[in-house]
Structure 1
């Protein structure tokens, strides 16, 4: 695997150090980012992979809860320490701490389950969402510098198409705290479900806070805008393939106090709900009264 998807999969191919004290220790690299900071979705996905390496193969991750503690440096490797908290008949629980320079940058708890039968229902996929093929492929935003252009057009391992249009220089259309984004990996990943689930966690962090900005008509290029992920919750409901089109439906239910909360749901193009997400982020805008 080469290109941007290969770069992502390389970061998920963690090295087992063989250390067996009270924790299992793994290490992994970071991929390029224009600001030199580790992308939050990357360390989230790596932490899931590290935890997955310590559970039985038939147990798949079904939920995570993580806190982003410090920005990471893409020039440095990341160490992942996994604590085997609990193993029951059906569920296993793990805690992963991601470190750089001896300091934690992410703390995550993950739960794994053996596949089981039970009651079934789901929230329906919103109606009226156009097919991904009818939407334009992403282009570099006019006015973006070389690093940002590369991020948008060359370095993302996923093809991502906003139903309501991107919002780099301006926010067109209705000011609403919701949006939908079609996404698909730029290549085939294979059949290992643990990789598909980790890759879904990776991409879930890309656009999750955008509905907060869209509601107030604030583009990414707003001078002085500061955004950072604070925590991330995710639930996998079914097996998923990220190399097939998925619709990421997002809605912000609150913003205030310099923070915002957004919920997201991943659907197949047939309307099957495969995963749900919630994230709170720091959102600081100079003179927020200008945006209402």
Structure 2
């Protein structure tokens, strides 16, 4: 069982002094490496702990360097780059046994008035009655949907079938999903941004697979995040439905690039995501494409992430 409470427990880092923090993992996971969204969110928590709470995070950029292990604690070291009159800047290194897993740069800003424009919320059916992640895996993927249900039980994710059908018909990398955590969270806006950072890594890279006939993924198509960016535009509750409108304009060289715009149910554009990830076929799938060069196993893909 993986509940919203499990997610918030992951984000409750221990302060070990001198702008250093320590975090753990879930008790059980089927993933062969630490989920990227966990590292992003925990690193953001560490950065936020060192900033005046009147300043809200508005931008996060992450470089993913090595895969994390579930059996070792995670350490987060914060560097205070700048504290200006309205902006603050922090860099966080997440390490494990001396290995740097991710480097996160976060920018914080005092809320103020300014010019405003934003895209209109795209047309999409509401989440009620739409197929969830596990329904889609059962019908369209060779990945083990029952195990994934246990892994992501605390995340409610619904696919918009029309977006997938249009993407398949037009060979476009576009999909729409609704997402939220399944339980009510405390009202702290900083916590909701941290949980949204956790959720931002769930399906984004899949958009780059759609033009190639992979709806969710395949056992011979390991994926790993290489770099990830989040822009927070407005307050949003991670325990209420958010529409994530995703598209992938490019893939090549065993990498895929995806973007997303995030909207609340009242039509506000609350966040944007960007991600480049490794999509390197291996085994039978690689032979099916007739590609030469090194064949990567799961460990190689994890190491490259």
Give the TM-score normalised by structure 2: 0.85
Corresponding residue for 1:230?
226
Corresponding residue for 1:7?
6
- Cα shift at 1:108: 0.7
- Cα shift at 1:89: 0.3
- Cα shift at 1:216: 1.1
Q: Distance in 1 between matches of 2:251 and 2:95?
A: 30
- Cα shift at 1:125: 1.6
Name structure 1 gaps, 5 residues minimum.
Answer: none
Contact 2:29 2:151 in 1 (8 A): no
Contact 1:4 1:154 in 2 (8 A): no
- Cα shift at 1:124: 1.5
Corresponding residue for 2:194?
198
Q: Distance in 2 between matches of 1:237 and 1:3?
A: 28
Q: Distance in 1 between matches of 2:113 and 2:156?
A: 34
Q: Distance in 1 between matches of 2:2 and 2:213?
A: 34
- Cα shift at 1:3: 4.9
Q: 2:107 aligns with which of 105, 111, 117?
A: 111
Contact 2:254 2:278 in 1 (8 A): yes
Corresponding residue for 2:303?
none
Contact 1:165 1:172 in 2 (8 A): no
Q: Distance in 2 between matches of 1:120 and 1:96?
A: 30
Q: 2:21 aligns with which of 26, 32, 35?
A: 26
Q: 2:156 aligns with which of 145, 155, 159?
A: 159
Q: Distance in 1 between matches of 2:225 and 2:11?
A: 20
For residues 180-219 of structure 1, the aligned pairs below 5 Å read: 180-219=176-215
3-state SS of the aligned residue for 2:94?
strand
3-state SS of the aligned residue for 1:139?
helix
Corresponding residue for 1:150?
147
Q: Distance in 2 between matches of 1:94 and 1:13?
A: 19
3-state SS of the aligned residue for 1:229?
strand
Q: 1:42 aligns with which of 32, 38, 42?
A: 38
- Alpha-carbon distance change, 288 to 92 in structure 1, aligned in 2, over 3 angstroms: farther
Q: Distance in 1 between matches of 2:60 and 2:99?
A: 21
Q: Distance in 2 between matches of 1:183 and 1:221?
A: 19
Name structure 2 gaps, 5 residues minimum.
Answer: 291-305
Q: Could you say what the CA RMSD is over the residues aligned between the two structures, in angstroms?
A: 2.4
Deviations 1:29-82 (A, max 9, x none): 012431331000001000000000000011111001111110100111100000
- Alpha-carbon distance change, 223 to 47 in structure 1, aligned in 2, over 3 angstroms: closer
Q: Distance in 2 between matches of 1:144 and 1:5?
A: 27
Contact 1:253 1:262 in 2 (8 A): yes
- Alpha-carbon distance change, 145 to 282 in structure 1, aligned in 2, over 3 angstroms: closer
Identify which range, 45-54 or 68-77, moves more after superposition: 68-77
Corresponding residue for 1:65?
61
When you count helix as a share of all residues, which structure comes out higher?
A: 2
Corresponding residue for 2:134?
139
